[in-house]
Amino acid sequence: MVVWNKLKKQQKTSQKVNNMDKIKALPGKILAEMIDKPDGFRRTKNGLILKDADQDTSGIRPRWFKVFALGEDIDWLTEGQYLLVDHGRWSTGVKLSEDTKLYLIDNNDCLVVSDENPLEEAV
C-alpha cells in the first residue's frame, strides 16, 4: 500500500513518474494497464456495434488488462500477460503519463489469463 499511496500523492501534485522501472507491486498485488477502455462504442467480431460507455449500464462487462508489475507471492501470472477481470474489480487507477494509467487488480476476480493480446485480430 505504501507504493500505491506514494503514486497517488505524486498524481495529486502532478509530478510525473519518469522511471517506470522503479514501480513495483507489493506482495500479493497485481498492477496492470487497461487495454479494453470504453470509448462510447465497441464492435463485436461479427460486426455488431454496441454502446459501451463508462459510468453507464452498457459499460458493465469484464475488461482486459496487460500486467505491468506483480507482487512476490503471485506465481500464476507473469508480467506482460493479459488478464480478463470481472467488472469493477480494479481501483480507480493512477495516471503515470499521457498514455499510461495503472490499476490495482483484485486477484480473486481474474477470469482468464492469456499470453497473447486478445483484442488484436489473428492474421
Render pLDDT for 27-64 as a digit per residue (tens, 0 to 9).
999 999 999 887 777 777 788 887 776 667 767 889 99
Domain ranges of the chain: 2-15+25-114
pLDDT value of position 48? 83
- For 119, other C-beta atoms within 10 Å of its C-beta total 10
Q: Regarding predicted confidence, which is higher, 95 or 14?
A: 95
pLDDT score of 15: 47
Total residues belonging to the chain? 123
Burial of residue 110 (CB within 10 Å: 0-12, 13-18, 19+) is buried
82 is written with which cell numbers?
493479459
Amino acid 45: pLDDT? 76
Q: What is the pLDDT of residue 42?
A: 74
Cα→Cα distances 36→8, 88, 97, Å: 23, 13, 18
Under CATH, which number does the domain 2-15+25-114 receive?
A: 2.30.33
- Greater confidence (11 vs 40) lies with 40
- The 10s digit of each residue's pLDDT in 57-113 is 767 889 999 999 999 999 999 999 999 999 989 999 999 888 889 999 999 999 999
